[in-house]
A and B are shown apart, each in its own frame.
Chain A
Amino acid sequence: MAELSFTLNGQTQALTIDSGTPLLWVLREQLAMTGTKFGCGMGLCGACTVHLDGQPIRSCSYPAEFVNGKNITTIEGLAPTEDTLHPVQQAWLEMSVPQCGYCQSGQIMSAVALLKANSSPSDDDIDKAMSGNICRCGTYPRIRKAIHRAAELSVQYYQPATTEVGAES
């Protein structure tokens, strides 16, 4: 058993977990945050991608103890308010990316991390950042377009005049 305390989408969480439990199962089962998906359990498909202090990690193979005292952002924490969307989510909608949709939380979290690091990614940059995320429905061409579109939408979002808007700030 281990005591775990971390910030999840801006809210402090404190709970007891079995040592070694991957963050994914703490999120999904103990905190009922089911937007983050289980796909492979080996960090091979990216469906479980969340942000640890803004960096993408594979939560299915990341021991939850390691996030003690840190900030975790999941798909549920991306949009600034309930009625608005993050620019990446907005671009995903505009390009009608999702089919079955199961992998898209992970795809979006990877894309958000890419755009934070690189506000105007090339196709090669997208290949490098997104090839760890599998989509069995084959939405890759639309994901590519949506990332380019999100780059346009994000200019305002990431470089606001005064204050930071994102939930991860």
Chain B
Amino acid sequence: MSLSRRNFIKSTALLGGGLAIGFNLSGCSKAPPYPNMNATALQPNAYLQVTASGEVILQLHKVEMGQGVFTGLTTLAAEELKMDPALITVQHAEFHPDFRDPEFYVMITGGSSSLRLSYQTLREAAATVAAMLIAAAAQQLNVAESSLNLHDGKIIHAQGELGFADVIVRARGMSAPSVVTLTSPQDFQYIGKYDQRLDARAKVTGSSQFGLDVQYPNALSAVLLRSPDFGGKAKSFDAIAALAKSGVRSVINVDGAIAVIADTYWQARQAASAVKVEWEKGPLAGVNSDALRAERHSLLATESGKNVEEIGDPSAASGVLFDALYDVPYLAHATMEPMNALAVVKSDSIEVWTGNQAPDIALSAIADATGFSREQIRIHNQMLGGGFGRRILPDYLVEAARVAQLSGYPIKLVWSREDDMRGDFYRPNSSVKMSATVEANVVTSLQAKVAAPSIMGQFVGEVSNTLLPQWIPDGLHGKLAGLAASSDPAATEGLIETDYQFPYMRTDYIMQETSIPIGYWRSVGHSQNAFFMESFIDELAVKTGQDALQFRLNHLPVDSRRRKVLKEVADKAGWGSPAAGQFQGLAVHESFHTMVAQIVSVSIEDKKIKVHKVVCVVDCGVAVNPDIVRGQMEGGIVFALTAALKGNISVVDGAVQQSNFHNYELLRMNETPEIEVHILESAEAPTGVGEPGVPPLAPALANAVYAASGQRLRQLPLKLV
């Protein structure tokens, strides 16, 4: 197309297109324009646009961090547009209020909620675009809408076909239908059938762009020297030697940390080792993780805590009391891509290129730290080299923006692995007293008392000052108030609202006040609470002399979703008939509305646990992309094996002791068992799969280790004595 024709279409659209004018007006009021808005494109909602040349662009309002939304969400749109998902252009979306999550009230990727919460919205958004294209074509051809069909980016009619570009001007002039009809499940072409990953090709050729890969003209590299203990600040520093080094531009104090700025990362890193800093200890100086655990044990012995759930009458808890103390440590996320962000600060704008799970939160955090308004700040999300909850936090974006603001340079801030390991927001350490009463070989009560720090307490505490007045809608105010007054759901999730049935059930929570920074770690509270619950259930089966599968089935209602995955996993793994020399362990857990059961087979040699095989059954409703579901279960199992066999972040004098992969080891190829995943057939709407593969693994493994060794290991990581 010639330039003049392109301009002609553009000006025609600008003059005649009600949509564009509408957008421009709305841009001045509360709702900002849609991301990537283009005056010549059909763009009836924030999610989708069809450009003047007929290209379909999806604004990906959830970030791709490995979990598959890049493909899964595109597949939902493709289904209604009746086009191969590979034909849709996908862009990581900038912030827009329409992308705010209906449950979290912010634009965020987390809680294994992307597909579940987008299943209806995104198909409706695409069906709206499809209806407008069909209506425009019908008008243009003067035929009935029912005589037209969409296929792979074309409008098919009796005499031939039209491209989307051919009807775009007309479509832009139409109003969006108020009601759309979605494709019936029996007619799905892509949902449940598509088996590719749209991001895979770029990821095998090295061309996929992560935050760390972003290039910006004349950007300088910065590294930060932070206090060894959390919350400590630089009192003074001597940078004379550092400033004399090659490529070094500046060394400055940025909010208590020392930024070393140079032409390249390596120069900045080399110079940083030559800076002498005097640190002022922070509020966590003197804090040790061993002492924190002892304190939790003491809290469990002396405090009653806050009751979170109680079912049945305490008088039903008859018989002999049996209890057991369980422990888990802090864990790091250890994403393969260390934290990084590129920030460009101008007099009236800030732009940040990075990978982040919660741009809504980051916008406010940057605004608060820099004095700019949210509207002046843009965050350009890239592929995330792992998230697992770490990249919900905006700390590294704020750092980059502040270094850029104070230095006056465009800044690419890169954390070292050591920075990343020691500057994380860790999975909380937690201790739980599980107890039960048993009378005449019948379990009459099941109780859990949790002592743990509160993620929500820290998170809300950190963000509420700055964020609450600016953007949090009314709905969340109430929720936050409730949280502040109540217990942290993350501390007890997975222990409560289970469908196990015992005559009396109770869960209490004691909040531990002192902690290093903690955050959301793949499957959050479920990551430890499934270990507590499903290990103790196994203990009760042993105590009452029952088979672990049968014991569970005996205590589940007939309509429990757990029964289906349990029976299926027992069947697939040959429960009760392990391979020669191997021992099996079983666990089942619901998290994020998804039910997963796993059977782990182990053997033990020289007190070393060898994991041979994991069989996994998942019930996640409709599997939009079954191969990605399998991949998420496999990955969740490997992630959980690292935690069960190796993971431990220890703290001495307020500082994390681990620094890199030699002392915070991750599971490797030679330690990875055979993994078999089965997806239950389902007609229900999809639920998440990013996190739910993690929780059942540790207890299934611990239960297998008990079967093999007779040792009941109640502490992670599992170590035989």
Contact = CB atoms under 8 A, between A and B. Distances in A.
A85 B204 contact: yes
Interface in B629-664: 631-632, 634-639, 660-662
Interface in A95-136: 96-105, 108, 126-128, 130-136
A6 interface: no
A42 B215 contact: no
A167 to B, nearest CB: 13
B386 A18 contact: no
B668 A131 contact: yes
A141 B65 CA distance: 19
Contacts of B543: none
B639 A138 contact: yes
A142 interface: yes
Interface string A15-38: 000101110010011101011111
B632 to A, nearest CB: 8
A44 B210 CA distance: 21
B319 interface: no
B199 interface: yes
B221 interface: yes
B338 interface: yes
A36 to B, nearest CB: 7
Given A44-B660, A126-B669, A134-B661, A105 B206 contact: yes
A143 B337 CA distance: 19
Contacts of B414: 38
A165 interface: no
Contacts of A89: 204-205
Most buried by B among A93, A137, A138, A140: A138
A99 B336 contact: no
A161 interface: no
Contacts, number: 184
B66 interface: yes
A89 B202 CA distance: 10
A99 B197 CA distance: 9
Interface in B666-685: 666-670, 672, 674-675
B422 to A, nearest CB: 14
Most buried by A among B195, B204, B212: B204
A102 B266 contact: no
Interface string B603-632: 000000000000000000000000110011
B660 A29 contact: no
Nearest to A19: B246
Interface string B48-82: 00000000000000001111100000000000000
B221 A40 contact: no
Interface residues of A, number: 60
B265 A45 contact: no
Given A18-B266, A76-B206, A131-B669, A142 B212 contact: no
Contacts of B666: 134, 136
Nearest to B417: A40
B672 A32 contact: no
Interface string B184-214: 0000000000011101111111111110110
B44 interface: no
B317 interface: no
Contacts of B215: 32, 34
A122 B246 CA distance: 48
Contacts of A30: 264
A41 B266 CA distance: 11
B635 A99 contact: yes
A74 interface: yes
Contacts of B129: none
B20 to A, nearest CB: 37
B204 A104 contact: yes
Interface string B238-250: 0000000011000
A55 interface: no
Interface string B264-275: 111100100000
Interface of A: 1, 18, 20-22, 25, 28-30, 32, 34-42, 44-45, 47, 74-76, 78-79, 85, 89, 92-93, 96-105, 108, 126-128, 130-144
Given A18-B264, A93-B201, 8 more contacts: A29-B265, A35-B205, A35-B207, A37-B210, A39-B338, A93-B200, A100-B64, A126-B669
By Cβ-Cβ distance, the 10 closest A-B pairs, closest first, are: A35-B206, A138-B638, A102-B385, A101-B203, A100-B66, A99-B66, A75-B206, A138-B635, A34-B213, A127-B670
Interface of B: 64-68, 195-197, 199-210, 212-213, 215, 221, 246-247, 264-267, 270, 334-338, 383-388, 414, 416-417, 627-628, 631-632, 634-639, 660-662, 666-670, 672, 674-675
